[in-house]
Structure 1
Amino acid sequence: MPDSEINFSYSNVVIPEEITEEILCYLPVNSLLRFKCVSKRWRSFISSEYFTKRHLSKSHSDKKDNGNKFIFSFKGKQNSLTTRFLSVGSSFSLDEDEPIVTTSLDIQIRPRSEIQVVESCNGLVLVENIYTGHLICWNPSTRKTKHIEKPFGFGFGCVEEEGGYGFGYNELTDEYKVVRVRYKEYYETRTHAHMYSSKAGSWKEIEDLDKHLAGRPGKFVNGRPHWLIFGRSPDWEIVALDLVEEKYETVDWPVCFPKVNMFPPYLENTGGYLTLMDCNSYANAMSVWVMTQYGAPESWTKIWTFPNSFNLPIEHVCRSPTPPLCLKRNGDVVVALGSVIVAYNGENLLRWSQVDKFDRFIGSISYVESLVSPFGSDEILVSPASWMMTI
């Protein structure tokens, strides 16, 4: 601990600061936010960059997945224009009699608009308003946000918006970066890119990619955002962007990955591992492949297949722009279909829970609880009653 930090004490009992610090590192964010009110010293310590990074490190290394949560986005009932976000803890009970605890993270949007959750990194979630092209970097745990203007010259509601975003953290320079990739024409093979730096607070053009990226958000693994390269099966590829060198790299495809499928696979981050989800409409099943050692093509391993023995609409899943499932670090999967959340461990159905007030699933993402401020933060605290933001 830095020398500037002091001992914490209660009454006449003095608790060594090393022990206090260790205890605080294991506490959830909502408890830490309350403990800021204990004293100015506690507030200063819990708000410090030192403790923020220490707490984040503990959350990432939590083998029990206690700090990991899922965000599922749904459309409200009766054709509501509001996209609703639902937070679900990954360590929920498998007891059918115990309800899944959820937290509403509603975001109110303008008519004819659609919200897309792009990616999460270190507890920060990047959200895009597809209609306006505006972005919000959001910490769901602290409710702080940072609004990011779209790059100059980017249109909206037109072909120019085809492409997607990538979001990641450059540990070497201690800055977060957002990458916007797009094509000027639908059939153009070259992908154009801009990069936003949290330190510079602005966008810049970076090297183009001489390939056509699939219009899905990039997935941040091993310090790099990854995208699926669009092509006719079996010619899909994976490309990564080195955030330090700002150069593109190709990631080897699994040798035994199914080659015949009418739908492109999903690219995901599973507990820090690069993951491919194959949505096979012919076999009416989904399979999950994980690169257990980054950069080693022989390490691609199929960890399980999700059969359609539960009568789930597999073809509907395949057509979804974002994967309807999140993978836990222990290999279990949480699936959202329609207004139902399903938990599955690769062999058996674990949970099946109806989600009230929602009727159509549109996206999902996992995030870790953290105290990290969004790019320095606008210091906007959303009302605890509704957690509602307007984009």
Structure 2
Amino acid sequence: MHSCSGRRPRIMASSLSLPQNIITDILSRLPVKSLTRFKSVSKNWGHLTSTPALVATHLSRSSPDPSLLIRRYNTQSGGGFGIWLITNPTRNYGSLLLKIPLQEPLPRFPKIVGSVDGLVCLDVSPCYGSEFVLWNPGTKQFKGLFPLIASSKNNPIWLVFLGFGFDSFNNDYKLVRIVSFRRNDAFPFVRVEVYSWRDGVWKEIQESFDFAVLCGGQDGVVVNGSLNWVGIGLERFADRKVVVSFDMGREVFKTIPLPAVTRLANVKVMSYMGSLAIAVYPLVFAANGDNMNRFEFWVLSDCDDGSKQWTIMFVIENFSKSLIPIGTWIDREVVIKNIGGRAREDYPSFFLYDPVDKGTKRLPVDCVDFYIEGYSYVQSLVSVNGRS
């Protein structure tokens, strides 16, 4: 007979270990919050949750189900502000006020430059886009970014334009800063610098654009590997609006003329189904004015001969309120802010419009905000420190 000591036999952990690919598959299906906690279990767990294979697999599973990241404030000076995360915005949504990772009070509330693959780039400077934070709200990581080009007494900065996006050609996230200096002649002098997440450094590039002056009010919009801004055309593009497009992979600019209808209207650059798109809406809202309450949505489409042309997707006319484009969600549905009702209780509302099935969905954003910006957001394990 075998004696029993009351103890269970010791089994080596290695005999119970699963293959690496199975462990990666299991972990890639868990929330970022859970995976972040695993880092404190052991060094091995911490390393595993940071491997490129797990980070990429987890991101691919998160991407089809984005949330809506909203920056909102109630006054023109930036009061009553906050950054909210809205999950399942068209269903049983949940909202969460995010805590901004800052170590000291700011003179104004941070501006969102862009949101890509779980990384959010914030402009935390009082002016001239001179200080940034790269932030992963899921892992709580953040990193300060301080550009090279500065304003001086003899060469003051006039305007700064920003953009943040993913460079798929180099597997890199890039922050682009276009700095405009006032000159004695009519046109500003422009310098461009780029921050590389992969290399962790800023560099100034010599490539620039010569046939447009950028318009303020909108940061660069990511479309198929490029950042895009609205500009006023010069020389051969004179007397019309254009899109200034920066290819993040080759780090070169090009200028794309816009339809003539945009000359006397507001234009917002957007992305739609992987293509460049624009929303065209009134400069000044006047419900009883001629052609003032017209909202148009255009997409830059491919032609059979390989060229591209602007195609109008939909038009909304004769509305009783002002329709203002916010952006696109899941790169398909247009987010529109509806304001301008006469009744006191008729507060701004937000809805999604699908140009394909013509369906409209009211967004559960209950606010009376002066302004609102919306971005798609997915949780990820992407580090703010690049490949290091």
| TM-score normalised per structure 2 | 0.73
- Partner in structure 2 of residue 273 of structure 1: 275
8 Å Cα contact 1:325/1:335 also seen in 2: no
Matched, 1:140 2:137: yes
Return the match for 2:177 from 156, 166, 180.
180
1:303-357 deviation line (CA, Å, top 9, x unaligned): 4345574x5433xx3xxxxx5343334435364867644344454542253536x
The structural deviation recorded for 1:300 is 4.4
2:333 alignment partner, SS class: coil
Residue ranges of structure 1 left out of the alignment (5+ in a row) = 1-8, 318-322, 379-391
Comparing both chains, which one has the higher relative contact order based on Cα–Cα distances under 8 Å and sequence gaps of 6 or more? 1
Matched, 1:51 2:62: no
- Partner in structure 2 of residue 235 of structure 1: 240
RMSD value, Cα: 3.9
- Partner in structure 2 of residue 194 of structure 1: 193
TM-aligned CA distance change 1:35 to 1:349, over 3 Å: same
2:208 alignment partner, SS class: strand
Residue ranges of structure 2 left out of the alignment (5+ in a row) = 1-11, 284-290, 340-346
Tell which deviates more after alignment, 225-234 or 187-196: 225-234
Matched, 1:246 2:256: no
8 Å Cα contact 1:181/1:193 also seen in 2: yes
1:374 alignment partner, SS class: coil
1:142 alignment partner, SS class: coil
1:345-381 deviation line (CA, Å, top 9, x unaligned): 454542253536x733242222332211123499xxx
TM-aligned CA distance change 1:39 to 1:92, over 3 Å: farther
Q: Distance in 2 between matches of 1:280 and 1:76?
A: 23
- Partner in structure 1 of residue 225 of structure 2: 223
Q: Distance in 1 between matches of 2:43 and 2:338?
A: 43
Matched, 1:87 2:85: yes
For residues 1-391 of structure 1, the aligned pairs below 5 Å read: 17-36=20-39, 40-60=43-63, 62=64, 66=65, 68-75=66-73, 81=79, 83-89=81-87, 91-94=88-91, 98=92, 100-107=93-100, 110=105, 112-132=107-127, 133-154=130-151, 160-185=157-182, 187-198=186-197, 199-210=199-210, 211-215=212-216, 216-231=218-233, 235-251=240-256, 253=258, 257=259, 259=261, 262-270=264-272, 272-280=274-282, 282-291=291-300, 298=308, 300-306=310-316, 309=319, 311-314=320-323, 317=324, 323-331=325-333, 333=335, 335=337, 340-346=349-355, 347-355=358-366, 359-376=369-386
The structural deviation recorded for 1:22 is 3.1
2:46 alignment partner, SS class: helix
The structural deviation recorded for 1:228 is 1.9
Figure out how many residues of one structure are paired with residues of the other and give that number.
347
Q: Which structure: larger Rg?
A: 2
- Which AA in structure 2 matches 1:154? S
8 Å Cα contact 2:271/2:331 also seen in 1: no
1:208-261 deviation line (CA, Å, top 9, x unaligned): 3213122231122222222222249961112222334332223464xxx46155
Q: Distance in 2 between matches of 1:235 and 1:363?
A: 27
8 Å Cα contact 2:335/2:350 also seen in 1: no
- Partner in structure 1 of residue 3 of structure 2: none
- Which AA in structure 1 matches 2:207? E
Percent of aligned positions with the same letter in both sequences?
23
